[in-house]
Amino acid sequence: MVRDFLHLCAGHIRMGLLAFSVTALLAAPDLARADLTQLQPGQALRTEIGAQSADFALETSPGDYLAGRISGAGQAVSADLLFPDGRHFRRLSAGSSGEIRFQLVSESEGLILRLGGEGPVTLLLETRLALQMQTPPAPEWLSPRIAQMAAELAAGGTTGAFWQEITANGTPLIETVEGKTIMTFLWRGATRNVRLIGGPSNDHEWLARLGESDIWFKSFEVPPGTRLSYQLAPDVPDIPGTARARRGALSATAQVDPLNKAPWPADAPDRFSQEASVALPDAPLQPGWPPAPDASPQISRFAFDSPALGNSREITISQPQDLDPTDPDLVLLFLFDGERAQSDVQAPALLDGLTRAGRLPPVVAVMIPSIDSATRARELPGDRVFADVLADDLLPEVLARAGIRANPARTVLAGASYGGLGAARIAIQRPDAFGNALSMSGSFWWAPEGVDTDGTPWVASLIAGGEKLPLRVFLSGGLFETGRDGTAGILETSRILRDTLRLKGYETHWREYAGGHDYVIWRGALADGLIALFGK
Protein backbone atom coordinates (compact mmCIF):
# COMPACT_ATOMS: atom_id res chain seq x y z
CA MET A 1 0.00 0.00 0.00
CA VAL A 2 2.75 2.42 0.96
CA ARG A 3 4.66 1.53 -2.24
CA ASP A 4 1.55 2.25 -4.34
CA PHE A 5 1.01 5.56 -2.56
CA LEU A 6 4.60 6.60 -3.23
CA HIS A 7 4.31 5.68 -6.95
CA LEU A 8 1.13 7.71 -7.17
CA CYS A 9 2.81 10.72 -5.56
CA ALA A 10 5.79 10.39 -7.88
CA GLY A 11 3.43 10.26 -10.87
CA HIS A 12 1.69 13.46 -9.81
CA ILE A 13 5.05 15.15 -9.34
CA ARG A 14 6.20 14.10 -12.87
CA MET A 15 2.94 15.29 -14.40
CA GLY A 16 3.28 18.57 -12.57
CA LEU A 17 6.81 19.06 -13.84
CA LEU A 18 5.70 18.22 -17.39
CA ALA A 19 2.83 20.66 -17.19
CA PHE A 20 5.21 23.31 -15.87
CA SER A 21 7.72 22.68 -18.66
CA VAL A 22 5.06 22.84 -21.39
CA THR A 23 3.54 25.99 -19.88
CA ALA A 24 6.97 27.56 -19.65
CA LEU A 25 7.75 26.60 -23.22
CA LEU A 26 4.54 28.10 -24.59
CA ALA A 27 4.96 31.22 -22.56
CA ALA A 28 8.63 31.68 -23.35
CA PRO A 29 9.10 34.67 -25.66
CA ASP A 30 12.62 33.63 -26.64
CA LEU A 31 12.21 30.16 -28.10
CA ALA A 32 14.33 31.42 -31.01
CA ARG A 33 17.31 31.35 -28.75
CA ALA A 34 20.68 32.59 -29.85
CA ASP A 35 22.13 29.12 -29.27
CA LEU A 36 19.94 27.55 -31.99
CA THR A 37 21.61 26.75 -35.27
CA GLN A 38 20.57 29.22 -37.98
CA LEU A 39 19.58 27.85 -41.38
CA GLN A 40 21.27 29.99 -44.03
CA PRO A 41 19.93 30.08 -47.61
CA GLY A 42 21.95 27.95 -49.96
CA GLN A 43 23.93 26.08 -47.30
CA ALA A 44 23.13 22.40 -46.72
CA LEU A 45 23.10 21.41 -43.05
CA ARG A 46 23.58 17.79 -41.97
CA THR A 47 22.59 16.82 -38.44
CA GLU A 48 21.79 13.79 -36.31
CA ILE A 49 18.46 13.60 -34.53
CA GLY A 50 18.41 11.60 -31.34
CA ALA A 51 15.59 10.51 -29.09
CA GLN A 52 14.48 14.12 -28.66
CA SER A 53 13.41 16.61 -31.30
CA ALA A 54 15.86 19.17 -32.66
CA ASP A 55 15.14 22.87 -33.23
CA PHE A 56 16.64 25.20 -35.84
CA ALA A 57 16.19 28.93 -36.25
CA LEU A 58 14.98 30.65 -39.45
CA GLU A 59 15.64 34.35 -39.69
CA THR A 60 12.52 35.76 -41.37
CA SER A 61 10.27 38.79 -41.57
CA PRO A 62 6.53 38.81 -42.30
CA GLY A 63 5.94 38.26 -46.01
CA ASP A 64 9.27 36.49 -46.71
CA TYR A 65 9.02 33.62 -49.19
CA LEU A 66 10.94 30.47 -48.19
CA ALA A 67 11.53 27.26 -50.09
CA GLY A 68 13.69 24.26 -49.27
CA ARG A 69 13.87 20.57 -48.64
CA ILE A 70 14.47 18.08 -45.82
CA SER A 71 15.74 14.54 -46.28
CA GLY A 72 15.94 11.81 -43.66
CA ALA A 73 17.96 9.33 -45.74
CA GLY A 74 15.11 6.83 -45.70
CA GLN A 75 14.26 7.39 -42.02
CA ALA A 76 10.88 8.84 -41.00
CA VAL A 77 11.11 12.56 -40.20
CA SER A 78 8.48 14.86 -38.77
CA ALA A 79 8.81 18.60 -39.38
CA ASP A 80 6.86 21.50 -37.88
CA LEU A 81 7.26 25.27 -37.99
CA LEU A 82 6.69 27.21 -34.81
CA PHE A 83 6.31 30.89 -34.08
CA PRO A 84 9.03 32.35 -31.82
CA ASP A 85 6.70 32.06 -28.81
CA GLY A 86 6.27 28.31 -29.39
CA ARG A 87 2.84 28.32 -31.03
CA HIS A 88 2.34 25.95 -33.93
CA PHE A 89 2.44 27.63 -37.36
CA ARG A 90 2.61 24.95 -40.02
CA ARG A 91 3.20 21.22 -40.38
CA LEU A 92 5.63 20.26 -43.12
CA SER A 93 5.72 16.51 -42.50
CA ALA A 94 4.02 14.06 -40.17
CA GLY A 95 6.69 11.41 -40.64
CA SER A 96 7.80 11.18 -44.25
CA SER A 97 10.69 8.88 -45.13
CA GLY A 98 11.30 10.55 -48.48
CA GLU A 99 12.38 14.02 -49.43
CA ILE A 100 10.22 16.75 -47.92
CA ARG A 101 9.92 19.86 -50.08
CA PHE A 102 8.32 23.02 -48.74
CA GLN A 103 7.31 26.47 -49.88
CA LEU A 104 5.79 29.00 -47.50
CA VAL A 105 5.36 32.64 -46.62
CA SER A 106 6.47 33.71 -43.14
CA GLU A 107 3.98 35.43 -40.86
CA SER A 108 6.37 36.57 -38.13
CA GLU A 109 9.82 37.84 -37.24
CA GLY A 110 11.68 34.55 -37.09
CA LEU A 111 10.50 30.96 -37.19
CA ILE A 112 11.59 27.71 -35.52
CA LEU A 113 11.90 24.47 -37.49
CA ARG A 114 11.39 21.47 -35.21
CA LEU A 115 12.42 18.05 -36.46
CA GLY A 116 11.50 14.72 -34.93
CA GLY A 117 12.65 11.21 -35.73
CA GLU A 118 15.92 9.39 -35.26
CA GLY A 119 18.94 9.34 -37.54
CA PRO A 120 20.76 11.63 -39.97
CA VAL A 121 18.88 14.50 -41.60
CA THR A 122 19.94 16.95 -44.29
CA LEU A 123 18.39 20.43 -44.36
CA LEU A 124 18.59 22.93 -47.20
CA LEU A 125 16.92 26.33 -47.23
CA GLU A 126 17.08 26.99 -50.97
CA THR A 127 15.40 30.39 -51.08
CA ARG A 128 14.59 33.24 -48.72
CA LEU A 129 13.11 36.19 -50.62
CA ALA A 130 12.05 39.35 -48.82
CA LEU A 131 8.65 40.82 -49.70
CA GLN A 132 10.15 43.83 -51.44
CA MET A 133 12.17 41.50 -53.69
CA GLN A 134 9.12 39.54 -54.84
CA THR A 135 8.62 41.12 -58.25
CA PRO A 136 7.63 39.36 -61.47
CA PRO A 137 10.37 38.81 -64.02
CA ALA A 138 10.57 41.14 -66.96
CA PRO A 139 8.31 40.02 -69.83
CA GLU A 140 9.92 37.88 -72.49
CA TRP A 141 8.78 38.98 -75.92
CA LEU A 142 8.69 36.59 -78.86
CA SER A 143 8.99 39.59 -81.15
CA PRO A 144 12.29 41.53 -81.02
CA ARG A 145 10.49 44.58 -82.41
CA ILE A 146 7.92 44.49 -79.63
CA ALA A 147 10.74 44.10 -77.08
CA GLN A 148 12.48 47.11 -78.58
CA MET A 149 9.27 49.11 -78.48
CA ALA A 150 8.68 48.15 -74.84
CA ALA A 151 12.15 49.46 -73.97
CA GLU A 152 11.53 52.70 -75.87
CA LEU A 153 8.23 53.25 -74.07
CA ALA A 154 9.87 52.56 -70.69
CA ALA A 155 12.41 55.26 -71.54
CA GLY A 156 9.66 57.76 -72.28
CA GLY A 157 9.38 57.20 -76.03
CA THR A 158 6.27 57.33 -78.21
CA THR A 159 4.74 55.01 -80.81
CA GLY A 160 4.55 57.31 -83.83
CA ALA A 161 7.64 56.05 -85.63
CA PHE A 162 6.65 52.44 -84.90
CA TRP A 163 3.29 52.84 -86.59
CA GLN A 164 4.86 54.61 -89.58
CA GLU A 165 7.16 51.62 -90.02
CA ILE A 166 4.32 49.10 -89.66
CA THR A 167 2.08 51.02 -92.06
CA ALA A 168 4.81 51.07 -94.69
CA ASN A 169 5.62 47.35 -94.38
CA GLY A 170 2.14 46.02 -93.71
CA THR A 171 0.83 43.52 -91.20
CA PRO A 172 1.26 41.05 -89.65
CA LEU A 173 4.82 41.79 -88.54
CA ILE A 174 7.13 38.94 -89.66
CA GLU A 175 10.53 38.43 -88.00
CA THR A 176 13.15 35.68 -87.98
CA VAL A 177 14.74 34.88 -84.62
CA GLU A 178 17.42 32.17 -84.47
CA GLY A 179 15.95 30.49 -87.52
CA LYS A 180 12.38 30.65 -86.18
CA THR A 181 9.59 32.63 -87.82
CA ILE A 182 7.72 34.99 -85.51
CA MET A 183 4.36 36.39 -86.68
CA THR A 184 2.91 39.31 -84.71
CA PHE A 185 -0.62 40.62 -85.20
CA LEU A 186 -1.17 44.29 -84.39
CA TRP A 187 -4.00 46.74 -83.77
CA ARG A 188 -3.75 50.41 -83.03
CA GLY A 189 -5.74 52.27 -80.44
CA ALA A 190 -8.47 49.99 -79.07
CA THR A 191 -10.05 51.05 -75.79
CA ARG A 192 -10.90 47.78 -74.03
CA ASN A 193 -9.75 44.69 -75.93
CA VAL A 194 -8.83 43.18 -79.29
CA ARG A 195 -9.39 39.58 -80.40
CA LEU A 196 -7.85 37.67 -83.28
CA ILE A 197 -10.05 35.45 -85.44
CA GLY A 198 -8.33 32.93 -87.71
CA GLY A 199 -4.75 33.26 -86.54
CA PRO A 200 -2.21 30.44 -86.13
CA SER A 201 -4.08 28.95 -83.19
CA ASN A 202 -6.99 26.64 -82.43
CA ASP A 203 -8.83 29.45 -80.63
CA HIS A 204 -9.72 33.13 -80.97
CA GLU A 205 -6.75 34.72 -79.21
CA TRP A 206 -6.77 37.97 -77.20
CA LEU A 207 -4.21 40.59 -78.10
CA ALA A 208 -2.28 42.20 -75.22
CA ARG A 209 -1.76 45.91 -74.74
CA LEU A 210 1.82 47.11 -74.59
CA GLY A 211 1.85 49.10 -71.37
CA GLU A 212 -0.52 52.06 -71.64
CA SER A 213 0.32 52.65 -75.31
CA ASP A 214 -1.90 52.35 -78.38
CA ILE A 215 -0.15 49.10 -79.41
CA TRP A 216 -2.16 45.88 -79.11
CA PHE A 217 -0.28 42.74 -80.16
CA LYS A 218 -0.10 38.94 -80.17
CA SER A 219 2.96 36.99 -81.34
CA PHE A 220 3.25 33.38 -82.50
CA GLU A 221 6.04 31.12 -83.64
CA VAL A 222 4.80 29.69 -86.95
CA PRO A 223 6.06 27.28 -89.62
CA PRO A 224 7.83 29.06 -92.48
CA GLY A 225 5.20 27.72 -94.90
CA THR A 226 2.25 29.37 -93.14
CA ARG A 227 -0.69 30.69 -95.15
CA LEU A 228 -3.82 32.04 -93.48
CA SER A 229 -6.51 34.68 -93.46
CA TYR A 230 -7.77 36.50 -90.40
CA GLN A 231 -9.85 39.32 -88.95
CA LEU A 232 -9.40 41.45 -85.85
CA ALA A 233 -12.23 42.36 -83.48
CA PRO A 234 -11.49 45.54 -81.48
CA ASP A 235 -13.49 46.45 -78.38
CA VAL A 236 -15.66 43.33 -78.43
CA PRO A 237 -18.84 44.03 -76.46
CA ASP A 238 -18.86 42.36 -73.06
CA ILE A 239 -22.43 41.13 -73.02
CA PRO A 240 -24.31 39.03 -70.45
CA GLY A 241 -25.50 35.57 -71.40
CA THR A 242 -24.07 32.17 -72.23
CA ALA A 243 -20.49 31.55 -73.26
CA ARG A 244 -21.75 30.85 -76.79
CA ALA A 245 -23.56 34.20 -76.93
CA ARG A 246 -20.55 36.04 -75.58
CA ARG A 247 -18.30 34.34 -78.12
CA GLY A 248 -20.75 35.29 -80.85
CA ALA A 249 -20.33 38.94 -79.95
CA LEU A 250 -17.00 38.78 -81.80
CA SER A 251 -18.88 39.19 -85.06
CA ALA A 252 -20.13 42.60 -83.93
CA THR A 253 -16.72 44.21 -84.54
CA ALA A 254 -14.70 41.59 -86.50
CA GLN A 255 -13.16 43.26 -89.56
CA VAL A 256 -10.20 43.29 -91.90
CA ASP A 257 -6.82 44.38 -90.54
CA PRO A 258 -6.54 47.92 -91.96
CA LEU A 259 -2.75 47.68 -92.30
CA ASN A 260 -2.70 44.36 -94.17
CA LYS A 261 -1.48 44.50 -97.77
CA ALA A 262 -3.48 41.49 -99.04
CA PRO A 263 -7.14 41.86 -98.09
CA TRP A 264 -9.69 39.62 -99.79
CA PRO A 265 -12.06 39.54 -101.50
CA ALA A 266 -10.95 42.73 -103.20
CA ASP A 267 -14.51 43.73 -104.06
CA ALA A 268 -15.96 43.28 -100.55
CA PRO A 269 -18.65 45.87 -99.80
CA ASP A 270 -17.19 46.89 -96.45
CA ARG A 271 -14.39 46.17 -93.99
CA PHE A 272 -16.58 43.75 -92.02
CA SER A 273 -17.03 41.56 -95.11
CA GLN A 274 -13.32 41.38 -95.86
CA GLU A 275 -10.42 39.39 -94.40
CA ALA A 276 -6.70 40.00 -94.27
CA SER A 277 -4.36 37.33 -95.60
CA VAL A 278 -0.71 36.39 -95.38
CA ALA A 279 1.40 33.79 -97.16
CA LEU A 280 4.99 33.32 -96.04
CA PRO A 281 7.66 32.70 -98.71
CA ASP A 282 7.72 28.95 -98.06
CA ALA A 283 3.94 28.54 -98.34
CA PRO A 284 3.22 25.88 -100.98
CA LEU A 285 2.13 26.98 -104.43
CA GLN A 286 -1.60 26.67 -105.07
CA PRO A 287 -2.21 25.19 -108.52
CA GLY A 288 -4.43 27.38 -110.65
CA TRP A 289 -4.50 30.27 -108.18
CA PRO A 290 -5.15 33.01 -108.95
CA PRO A 291 -7.42 31.86 -111.78
CA ALA A 292 -6.08 32.41 -115.27
CA PRO A 293 -7.40 35.66 -116.81
CA ASP A 294 -8.44 33.78 -119.96
CA ALA A 295 -10.56 31.25 -118.06
CA SER A 296 -14.07 31.24 -119.54
CA PRO A 297 -16.12 28.33 -118.20
CA GLN A 298 -19.64 27.71 -119.39
CA ILE A 299 -22.12 28.33 -116.56
CA SER A 300 -25.68 27.08 -116.25
CA ARG A 301 -28.16 27.03 -113.40
CA PHE A 302 -31.36 25.25 -112.51
CA ALA A 303 -33.74 24.96 -109.58
CA PHE A 304 -33.57 21.65 -107.77
CA ASP A 305 -36.71 20.87 -105.79
CA SER A 306 -36.58 17.97 -103.33
CA PRO A 307 -39.82 16.79 -101.69
CA ALA A 308 -37.77 14.30 -99.67
CA LEU A 309 -35.70 17.10 -98.16
CA GLY A 310 -38.54 19.59 -98.12
CA ASN A 311 -36.52 22.36 -99.77
CA SER A 312 -35.40 23.87 -103.03
CA ARG A 313 -32.07 25.33 -104.09
CA GLU A 314 -30.35 26.70 -107.18
CA ILE A 315 -27.70 24.38 -108.55
CA THR A 316 -24.82 25.88 -110.55
CA ILE A 317 -22.99 23.78 -113.16
CA SER A 318 -19.62 24.87 -114.54
CA GLN A 319 -17.88 23.12 -117.43
CA PRO A 320 -15.37 23.83 -120.22
CA GLN A 321 -16.79 25.60 -123.25
CA ASP A 322 -15.71 22.81 -125.61
CA LEU A 323 -16.66 19.89 -123.38
CA ASP A 324 -16.82 16.48 -125.05
CA PRO A 325 -19.42 14.60 -122.98
CA THR A 326 -18.01 11.27 -124.22
CA ASP A 327 -14.49 11.96 -122.95
CA PRO A 328 -13.62 8.94 -120.74
CA ASP A 329 -11.30 11.10 -118.62
CA LEU A 330 -14.03 13.61 -117.76
CA VAL A 331 -14.45 14.28 -114.04
CA LEU A 332 -17.83 15.00 -112.45
CA LEU A 333 -17.38 17.05 -109.27
CA PHE A 334 -20.11 17.68 -106.70
CA LEU A 335 -18.98 20.55 -104.51
CA PHE A 336 -20.71 21.43 -101.23
CA ASP A 337 -21.14 25.01 -99.95
CA GLY A 338 -21.51 25.99 -103.58
CA GLU A 339 -22.08 29.68 -102.85
CA ARG A 340 -18.72 29.94 -101.08
CA ALA A 341 -17.09 27.77 -103.75
CA GLN A 342 -18.03 30.39 -106.33
CA SER A 343 -17.16 33.49 -104.31
CA ASP A 344 -14.17 32.49 -102.15
CA VAL A 345 -12.60 29.74 -104.25
CA GLN A 346 -13.70 31.02 -107.68
CA ALA A 347 -14.09 27.34 -108.52
CA PRO A 348 -15.44 27.70 -112.09
CA ALA A 349 -12.49 29.83 -113.26
CA LEU A 350 -9.98 27.86 -111.15
CA LEU A 351 -11.02 24.52 -112.64
CA ASP A 352 -11.23 25.84 -116.17
CA GLY A 353 -7.72 27.26 -115.86
CA LEU A 354 -6.34 23.95 -114.57
CA THR A 355 -7.93 22.11 -117.47
CA ARG A 356 -6.57 24.64 -119.99
CA ALA A 357 -3.10 24.25 -118.43
CA GLY A 358 -3.26 20.48 -118.77
CA ARG A 359 -3.17 19.89 -115.01
CA LEU A 360 -6.67 18.37 -114.97
CA PRO A 361 -8.92 16.63 -117.44
CA PRO A 362 -12.23 18.38 -118.22
CA VAL A 363 -14.23 18.93 -115.02
CA VAL A 364 -18.00 19.35 -114.79
CA ALA A 365 -18.48 21.03 -111.41
CA VAL A 366 -21.87 20.87 -109.71
CA MET A 367 -22.01 23.49 -106.96
CA ILE A 368 -24.60 22.71 -104.27
CA PRO A 369 -25.53 25.65 -102.00
CA SER A 370 -26.20 25.09 -98.32
CA ILE A 371 -29.38 27.24 -98.21
CA ASP A 372 -28.66 28.31 -94.62
CA SER A 373 -26.59 27.28 -91.60
CA ALA A 374 -29.37 25.22 -90.02
CA THR A 375 -29.95 23.25 -93.23
CA ARG A 376 -26.22 22.77 -93.65
CA ALA A 377 -25.79 21.43 -90.12
CA ARG A 378 -28.69 19.03 -90.63
CA GLU A 379 -27.89 17.68 -94.10
CA LEU A 380 -24.12 17.43 -94.39
CA PRO A 381 -22.90 15.57 -91.28
CA GLY A 382 -25.17 12.55 -91.08
CA ASP A 383 -28.48 12.83 -92.99
CA ARG A 384 -28.98 9.56 -94.93
CA VAL A 385 -31.93 11.06 -96.84
CA PHE A 386 -29.65 13.83 -98.15
CA ALA A 387 -27.14 11.20 -99.34
CA ASP A 388 -29.87 9.30 -101.20
CA VAL A 389 -31.29 12.48 -102.74
CA LEU A 390 -27.85 13.34 -104.12
CA ALA A 391 -27.34 9.86 -105.54
CA ASP A 392 -30.86 9.06 -106.75
CA ASP A 393 -32.27 12.47 -107.71
CA LEU A 394 -29.62 15.15 -108.27
CA LEU A 395 -26.98 12.95 -109.95
CA PRO A 396 -29.35 11.63 -112.68
CA GLU A 397 -30.61 15.13 -113.42
CA VAL A 398 -27.05 16.48 -113.76
CA LEU A 399 -26.09 13.59 -116.04
CA ALA A 400 -29.09 14.29 -118.24
CA ARG A 401 -28.45 18.03 -118.41
CA ALA A 402 -24.74 17.59 -119.18
CA GLY A 403 -25.30 14.71 -121.57
CA ILE A 404 -22.75 12.47 -119.84
CA ARG A 405 -22.88 8.88 -118.62
CA ALA A 406 -22.66 7.75 -115.02
CA ASN A 407 -19.19 6.67 -113.95
CA PRO A 408 -18.66 6.45 -110.15
CA ALA A 409 -14.89 6.04 -110.64
CA ARG A 410 -14.78 9.53 -112.22
CA THR A 411 -17.32 11.13 -109.85
CA VAL A 412 -16.15 12.92 -106.73
CA LEU A 413 -17.79 14.57 -103.72
CA ALA A 414 -15.84 17.51 -102.26
CA GLY A 415 -16.29 19.92 -99.39
CA ALA A 416 -14.71 21.62 -96.40
CA SER A 417 -15.53 21.44 -92.70
CA TYR A 418 -19.03 19.89 -92.46
CA GLY A 419 -18.77 19.61 -96.24
CA GLY A 420 -15.57 17.58 -95.86
CA LEU A 421 -17.29 15.29 -93.37
CA GLY A 422 -20.27 15.01 -95.71
CA ALA A 423 -18.10 14.20 -98.72
CA ALA A 424 -16.50 11.22 -96.96
CA ARG A 425 -19.65 10.07 -95.20
CA ILE A 426 -21.88 10.14 -98.30
CA ALA A 427 -19.27 8.44 -100.46
CA ILE A 428 -19.08 5.64 -97.88
CA GLN A 429 -22.88 5.30 -97.82
CA ARG A 430 -23.35 5.56 -101.61
CA PRO A 431 -20.16 4.35 -103.33
CA ASP A 432 -22.37 3.12 -106.18
CA ALA A 433 -22.78 6.78 -107.19
CA PHE A 434 -19.68 8.49 -105.83
CA GLY A 435 -16.39 6.63 -106.06
CA ASN A 436 -14.19 9.44 -104.76
CA ALA A 437 -14.21 11.75 -101.74
CA LEU A 438 -12.21 14.97 -101.41
CA SER A 439 -12.37 16.18 -97.82
CA MET A 440 -10.77 19.45 -96.71
CA SER A 441 -10.61 20.03 -92.94
CA GLY A 442 -13.44 17.56 -92.46
CA SER A 443 -15.31 17.84 -89.15
CA PHE A 444 -14.57 14.24 -88.25
CA TRP A 445 -14.96 15.00 -84.54
CA TRP A 446 -18.73 14.86 -85.21
CA ALA A 447 -20.83 11.79 -84.42
CA PRO A 448 -24.60 11.18 -84.47
CA GLU A 449 -26.27 11.88 -81.16
CA GLY A 450 -26.16 8.88 -78.88
CA VAL A 451 -23.55 7.01 -80.94
CA ASP A 452 -20.55 5.86 -78.89
CA THR A 453 -17.55 4.87 -80.99
CA ASP A 454 -15.23 4.46 -77.98
CA GLY A 455 -13.03 7.38 -78.96
CA THR A 456 -12.79 6.48 -82.67
CA PRO A 457 -14.11 9.17 -85.04
CA TRP A 458 -17.49 8.05 -86.34
CA VAL A 459 -16.55 8.05 -90.03
CA ALA A 460 -13.37 6.12 -89.21
CA SER A 461 -15.50 3.55 -87.36
CA LEU A 462 -17.65 3.14 -90.50
CA ILE A 463 -14.51 2.34 -92.48
CA ALA A 464 -13.02 0.07 -89.82
CA GLY A 465 -16.21 -1.94 -89.32
CA GLY A 466 -17.24 -2.33 -92.95
CA GLU A 467 -16.16 -4.15 -96.06
CA LYS A 468 -13.65 -2.41 -98.33
CA LEU A 469 -15.47 -0.18 -100.81
CA PRO A 470 -14.60 0.93 -104.36
CA LEU A 471 -13.54 4.31 -103.06
CA ARG A 472 -10.53 6.64 -103.33
CA VAL A 473 -9.99 9.45 -100.85
CA PHE A 474 -8.10 12.74 -100.54
CA LEU A 475 -7.92 14.21 -97.03
CA SER A 476 -6.34 17.43 -95.79
CA GLY A 477 -6.01 19.20 -92.46
CA GLY A 478 -4.49 22.36 -91.06
CA LEU A 479 -1.75 22.36 -88.45
CA PHE A 480 -3.70 25.01 -86.52
CA GLU A 481 -6.88 22.87 -86.39
CA THR A 482 -5.97 20.95 -83.26
CA GLY A 483 -8.41 20.15 -80.47
CA ARG A 484 -8.96 22.01 -77.23
CA ASP A 485 -9.62 21.00 -73.62
CA GLY A 486 -8.46 17.43 -74.15
CA THR A 487 -10.74 16.73 -77.13
CA ALA A 488 -9.52 15.71 -80.56
CA GLY A 489 -9.88 18.36 -83.23
CA ILE A 490 -10.08 18.33 -87.00
CA LEU A 491 -6.37 17.63 -87.46
CA GLU A 492 -6.25 14.69 -85.05
CA THR A 493 -9.48 13.05 -86.24
CA SER A 494 -8.50 13.49 -89.90
CA ARG A 495 -5.21 11.73 -89.20
CA ILE A 496 -7.06 8.87 -87.53
CA LEU A 497 -9.34 8.51 -90.55
CA ARG A 498 -6.32 8.63 -92.85
CA ASP A 499 -4.62 5.82 -90.94
CA THR A 500 -7.82 3.76 -90.82
CA LEU A 501 -8.31 4.07 -94.56
CA ARG A 502 -4.74 3.04 -95.29
CA LEU A 503 -4.93 0.06 -92.93
CA LYS A 504 -8.02 -1.11 -94.82
CA GLY A 505 -6.18 -0.80 -98.12
CA TYR A 506 -7.85 2.31 -99.54
CA GLU A 507 -6.00 4.58 -101.94
CA THR A 508 -5.63 7.58 -99.64
CA HIS A 509 -3.94 10.90 -100.35
CA TRP A 510 -3.05 13.18 -97.43
CA ARG A 511 -1.92 16.77 -97.15
CA GLU A 512 -1.19 18.89 -94.09
CA TYR A 513 -1.04 22.65 -94.49
CA ALA A 514 0.46 25.24 -92.15
CA GLY A 515 -2.89 26.94 -91.87
CA GLY A 516 -6.27 26.79 -90.22
CA HIS A 517 -9.98 26.49 -90.98
CA ASP A 518 -9.67 28.77 -93.92
CA TYR A 519 -10.75 29.25 -97.53
CA VAL A 520 -7.30 30.58 -98.47
CA ILE A 521 -6.12 27.04 -97.67
CA TRP A 522 -9.09 25.22 -99.20
CA ARG A 523 -8.82 26.94 -102.60
CA GLY A 524 -5.38 25.29 -102.87
CA ALA A 525 -6.48 22.02 -101.29
CA LEU A 526 -9.31 21.63 -103.80
CA ALA A 527 -6.82 21.84 -106.67
CA ASP A 528 -4.31 19.60 -104.87
CA GLY A 529 -6.99 16.98 -104.21
CA LEU A 530 -8.33 16.89 -107.76
CA ILE A 531 -4.82 16.67 -109.17
CA ALA A 532 -3.96 13.85 -106.74
CA LEU A 533 -7.09 11.89 -107.70
CA PHE A 534 -7.38 12.71 -111.41
CA GLY A 535 -4.39 14.77 -112.52
CA LYS A 536 -2.58 13.94 -115.71
pLDDT digits (tens, 9 = 90+) for 51-87: 788 999 999 999 999 999 999 878 899 999 999 999 9
According to DSSP H, which parts of 432-484 are helical?
458-465
pLDDT at 446: 96
- What is the distance between the alpha carbons of residues 261 and 101, in angstroms, rounded to a whole number? 55
Measured distance CA(278)–CA(227) in Å, rounded: 6
- CA distance to 170, 446, 483, per residue, from 210 (Å): 19, 40, 29
Exposure string for 327-342, b = 16+ CB within 10 A, e = fewer: eeebbbbbbbbbebbb
CA torsion, points 283, 286, 290, 294, in degrees to nearest 10?
Answer: 150
Has residue 436 got a pLDDT over 90? yes
Look at residue 493 in the predicted model and tell me its pLDDT: 97
- Cα 205 to Cα 197: distance, rounded to the nearest angstrom: 7
Q: What percent of the chain has pLDDT over 90?
A: 81
Report yes or no: 315 and 302 within 8 Å, Cβ to Cβ: yes
Average pLDDT over residues 380-386: 97
| 45-48 long-range contacts, CB within 8 A, separation 24+ | 45/122, 45/123, 45/124, 46/120, 46/121, 46/122, 46/123, 47/120, 47/121, 47/123, 48/119, 48/120, 48/121
| pLDDT for res 194 | 97
| pLDDT at residue 523, as a whole number | 97
Q: Which amino acid is at 411?
A: T
Query: Is the overall model pTM greater than 0.75, yes or no?
Result: yes
For residue 376, give the amino acid letter: R
Instruction: Identify the DSSP state of 392.
Output: I
Rg (CA), the chain: 35
Q: What is the pLDDT of residues 243-282, one digit of tens each?
A: 777 777 888 999 999 999 999 998 999 999 999 999 999 9
pLDDT at 15 over 50: no
The span from the CA of 498 to the CA of 508, in Å, is: 7
- pLDDT tens per residue, range 329-373: 999 999 999 999 999 999 999 999 999 999 999 999 999 999 999
Report the percent of the chain where pLDDT is more than 70: 94
- Among 62-76, 171-185, 283-297, name the one with the lowest average pLDDT: 62-76
Element (H, E) at 376: helix 373-379
Q: Write out pLDDT tens, residues 196-250.
A: 999 999 999 999 999 999 999 999 999 999 999 999 999 999 878 887 777 778 8
Q: What is the pLDDT of residue 90?
A: 95
> What's the maximum distance between 2 C-alpha atoms anywhere in the chain?
130
82 and 74 in contact (C-beta within 8 Å)?
Answer: no
Average pLDDT (462-466) is 96
Question: Of 69, 85, 81, 79, nearest to 32 (Cα)?
Answer: 85
Nearest alpha carbon to residue 440 among 522, 528, 502: 522
